[in-house]
Amino acid sequence: MKFSFSLLLLLFSTASFSQVTFKWLGTSGFILSDQTTTLMFDPAMTHVPIYDFLPFMTVESDKPEVDFWMNKCGLKSLQATFVNHAHTDHVIDAPYVVKKFGGKLYGSSSVLNVGLGQGLTNLQVQKIKHGDSWKIGDFIIRPFRTPHAPHVLDIMLMDGHIEKPLPTPTSPWNYLVGETHSFLITHPKGSILFQAIGKIHDIDTLKGLKADVLLLTIANRKSSEDLIQNRVNPSQAKLIIPLHHDNFFIPMKRENGIDELWGIKASEFQEKLSLHAKQIKSSWPQYCQAISLF
Ligand SMILES: [Zn+2]
């Protein structure tokens, strides 16, 4: 009798929560869903070519491009969109997806000013900070402050904060970084650590965090060894999905295949993983390919 009751409990605990799936949207954008609740992070399917950084050029969300990818990913509705920082390659499509698919936009004051500049109301935006905890459906999302590293040498492009609502079209140089967050996402089925910045800061707020799945930005990393020693192995993750290795200056390939970001050396990172983190499975999905996390 005791055995069957435990079995019943076990069956209930595994059956009562649906699987959590991940779909990559390019750069560090992705969708997480447990069938009931769907979250989006860093939607930036609109890629901004380098010539758009010339003086007098302006950018805005490319709605047909976003529609194509949301249709390909089978997205029906959203309960929340989180943005890690306010550079174009993380935030540019966030206001549009919130308007079209629902939920609120969560981010720094700079991220919120991108949303407000494109017509989101105060009820559709939510400021987040290090130490917060947000429960959305069965997901709990906790932001951690992880400062953006300089792009070249000590030079940080588009530094500062967006102080007021930013209407579009506008120069990509107006997308100032603001506060930068990584996220620990927990669900009754398992946990996910999304490290949004490739270079680990001297003050490592993610130190000691463990998760079943590691979503790891590898752009602008100090070295593959640094990420593996200080994040991949300590996280004790069973699965790692590297992010931010595709080229966000050219349009996303609509058929299979990824254009690699110049100088990213994704295969070198994978080789080092195979050498120094043999116990961890890695996955390099195509855009919108569903990966079952747990
Ligand atoms: Zn950035």
Ligand 1 geometric centre to CA of 87 (Å) = 5
3-state secondary structure 262-275: CCCCHHHHHHHHHH
Q: What is the pLDDT of residues 241-255, one digit of tens each?
A: 999 999 999 999 999
Domain residue spans of the chain = 17-292
Query: In 3D, which of 233, 136, 215, 117 has the Cα closest to residue 175?
Result: 117
Distance 237 CA to ligand 1 centre (A): 25
- For residue 271, the CA-to-ligand 1 centroid distance in Å is 26
pLDDT number for residue 249: 97
Cis bond leading into 169, ω under 30°? yes
Starting at the earlier edge strand, list the strands of the sheet with 80-82: 125-127, 104-107, 80-82, 38-41, 30-33, 21-24, 290-292
Three-class SS state of 287 = strand
The residues, any chain, with a CB within 8 Å of residue 219's CB and separated by 6 or more, are: 198, 244, 245, 261, 264
Two tokens, residue 72: 């390909």
Helices 109-117 and 94-101 pack at an angle, to 10 degrees, of 70
- What's the CA-to-centroid distance between 28 and ligand 1, angstroms? 10
Q: How far is the CA of 45 from the centre of ligand 1 (A)?
A: 15
Burial 36-69 (b: 16+ CB within 10 A, else e): ebbbbbbbbbbbbeeebbeeeeebbbbeebbeeb
pLDDT given for residue 3 in this prediction: 46
Q: How many CB atoms lie within 10 A of CB 109?
A: 18
pLDDT given at position 276: 97
Centre of ligand 1 to C-alpha 10, Å, is 44
Distance 29 CA to ligand 1 centre (A): 13
Tokens of 100: 């079209």
Q: How far is the CA of 219 from the centre of ligand 1 (A)?
A: 10
Residue 10: pLDDT over 60: no
Q: Running DSSP on this structure, what letter comes out for residue 149?
A: P
The CATH number of 17-292 is 3.60.15.10
From CA 52, how far away is CA 193, in angstroms rounded? Answer: 33
What distance in angstroms lies between residue 85's CA and the mean position of ligand 1's atoms?
A: 7
The answer to whether residue 17 scores a pLDDT higher than 90 is no
Distance 102 CA to ligand 1 centre (A): 25
Containing 95, the helix (H) or strand (E) segment is helix 94-101
At 20-75, the pLDDT tens digits run 999 999 999 999 999 999 999 999 999 999 999 999 999 999 999 999 999 999 99
What secondary structure letter does DSSP report for 173? G
